[in-house]
Structure 1
Amino acid sequence: MKIGFIGGGNMGGAILAGYGSADPDNEARIALFDKSEEVCAKTRERFPRMTICSSGRELCSSSDVVILGVKPQVIEGVLSEIAGACTSDKLIISMAAGVDLAFLAEHLGAEIPIIRIMPNTPAKVGEAMIAVCRNKNVTEEAFATAMKIFAAVGQAEEIEERLMDCVIGVSGSSPAYTYMYIEALVQAAQANGMSGEKAKIFAAQSVLGAAKMVLESPESLEQLRINVCSPKGTTIEAVETLFANGFMDKVKEGFQAAVDRSIEMTEEKKK
């Protein structure tokens, strides 16, 4: 089975790298088309047995699974290029934000099996969270193949497409909010005499550990927070200050801004 990637940048490149590294035999199954010669050269350097294609259409013709790792602004041109090479025995996977299954089917054909995903940048370190939805043409076998590819870079969950805008807010964009939180901790630690590098390790490892607790503990988020707060202690002082300054509400506002923009982008594609 040939897995083709159109676009080897941040997200497409992360999934390609994860899949290529997951099994020694996967390297020979990968094909890539990217307009950037530098991207192609760097990817070939890491995976010398992969195939570099000269166009998206060539890649689509020779691949069983085609992963579209291109931005929403250029997706329509890419779809137009590959449409003639798309047949019902191929699986098309798109990660373009704001581009729904209906739009993809309109440009590729009503009979084409299509999966839409929303990954996030931690795919680069094998810790992605990927939302997955599919049209009625995707068989269980094809879906299992796709989920195996995604497993190489993190976790994947199937959702209803109506929740894809929500996913943008809760996982697609949320690494950026988390980086801001860590950055604030680092700056505060520096103001108290700690070096930036040392503060980054302390803050980031604490976030990593807390996230692991959330995933592995049977306790609620509220209880996990309470467990850290001793009466009249340091943590409760910090938590009460954050609550008083609207910390939770501000995070929710940022989340909603990302969701609203995702909805706008989808509507713009329909015009």
Structure 2
Amino acid sequence: MDKKLGFIGCGNMGAAMVGGIINSGIVSKENIIASTKTKSSSEALESKFGIRTTIDNKKVAEEADVIFLAVKPFMYEAVIEEIRDLIKKEAIIVTIAAGIEIDKVKAWFNRDIKLIKTMPNTPALVGEGMSAICPSDNVPEEELEYIISIFNSFGKTEILGENDFHGFIALCGSSPAYVFMFIEAMGDAAVKMGIPRKKAYRLAAQAVLGSAKMVLETEKHPGELKDMVCSPRGTTIEAVIELEKSGMRSSIIKAMEKCEEKSKNM
């Protein structure tokens, strides 16, 4: 499927997507155009990726078959008003703003559009993103699969109902922050035990990465994998019991509930 991709806004997340797309070979760099606020940003993108750039959103709207709206959520209405009369009749609009509903975006366009709501998380920057995808009813299966393949180029994807996006934000959108805090705490403990800080963070991060990979690749229940590490009268079970005393699980659940609640009320 030879389509031209357009990015309106191309900050860290947009750049991560562009890098993944180019590296995967799904779309050639010649068929990607991105608009940014400043000429310096455009020049930096063009230099890094070899894509075409502009500071004119309208140019992207006129050329692209798939338009990624990668601007801040508060900018959506104004950007859509600027481009809605210029997009191609069969263009696919991809939003990257979990808090903005499909119906609201359609109302802003004030015309029949093919719309796919998405939410990647920041590990997309290193090719390990987790993205939620929700298509509107009029998106053909072939075109949905094409968009999924684009998001798979910088991580993994899951199709979710729009009502589940608030939970997704708590589970994947915000969870990198929880994991970074966990790694930082592990690093602090290791420093207390005498391990140099830089090594401590590297060791902790690799331990977390390896553990996550075990869950994905073995498809075993996390509790079963935990039990495999906990030998009778061993060191690990002592640590696990202490974590249970401190309410580790309940703290995570409560934090995610707060995150979901905030997302719903934004």
The answer to whether TM tops 0.5 is yes
Per-residue CA deviations over 1:72-107 (Å, capped at 9, x if unaligned) read 121221111111123430000001131011111111
User: Corresponding residue for 1:132?
Assistant: 133
Whether the 8 Å CA contact 1:67–1:94 is kept in 2: the answer is: yes
| Distance in 2 between residues matched to 1:25 and 1:240, nearest whole Å | 50
Whether the 8 Å CA contact 1:118–1:172 is kept in 2: the answer is: yes
User: Corresponding residue for 1:222?
Assistant: 223
SS state at 2:73 partner? coil
User: Corresponding residue for 1:22?
Assistant: 24
Matches within 5 A, 1:44-59: 44-48=46-50, 50-59=51-60
User: Corresponding residue for 1:105?
Assistant: 106
User: Corresponding residue for 1:268?
Assistant: none
| Distance in 2 between residues matched to 1:226 and 1:94, nearest whole Å | 41
| Distance in 2 between residues matched to 1:211 and 1:25, nearest whole Å | 30
Root-mean-square deviation over aligned CA pairs: 1.4
Counterpart AA for 1:218: E
| Distance in 1 between residues matched to 2:209 and 2:103, nearest whole Å | 37
User: Corresponding residue for 1:7?
Assistant: 9
SS state at 2:74 partner? coil
1:142: how far off? 1.4
1:109: how far off? 3.1
Whether the 8 Å CA contact 2:39–2:54 is kept in 1: the answer is: no
Whether the 8 Å CA contact 1:7–1:68 is kept in 2: the answer is: yes
TM-score (norm 1): 0.94
User: Corresponding residue for 1:263?
Assistant: 264
SS state at 1:84 partner? coil
Counterpart AA for 1:22: S
1:25: how far off? 5.6
Residues 115 and 243 of structure 1, relative CA distance in 2, 3 Å threshold: same
| Distance in 2 between residues matched to 1:34 and 1:101, nearest whole Å | 24
Whether the 8 Å CA contact 2:38–2:55 is kept in 1: the answer is: no
Counterpart AA for 1:114: L
1:179: how far off? 0.4
| Distance in 1 between residues matched to 2:125 and 2:186, nearest whole Å | 23
TM-score (norm 2): 0.95
Counterpart AA for 1:42: A
User: Corresponding residue for 1:42?
Assistant: 44
User: Corresponding residue for 2:180?
Assistant: 179
1:231: how far off? 1.6
User: Corresponding residue for 2:80?
Assistant: 79
| Distance in 2 between residues matched to 1:66 and 1:137, nearest whole Å | 16
| Distance in 1 between residues matched to 2:28 and 2:194, nearest whole Å | 48
**What is the total number of aligned residue pairs between the two structures?**
264
Q: Which runs of 5+ in 2 are unaligned?
A: none
| Distance in 2 between residues matched to 1:185 and 1:132, nearest whole Å | 33
User: Corresponding residue for 1:246?
Assistant: 247
- Which runs of at least 4 in structure 1 moved beyond 2 Å after TM superposition? 36-39
| Distance in 1 between residues matched to 2:212 and 2:27, nearest whole Å | 33
% identical equivalent positions: 36
SS state at 2:84 partner? helix
Q: Which runs of 5+ in 1 are unaligned?
A: 266-271
| Distance in 1 between residues matched to 2:201 and 2:68, nearest whole Å | 35
Whether the 8 Å CA contact 1:12–1:68 is kept in 2: the answer is: no
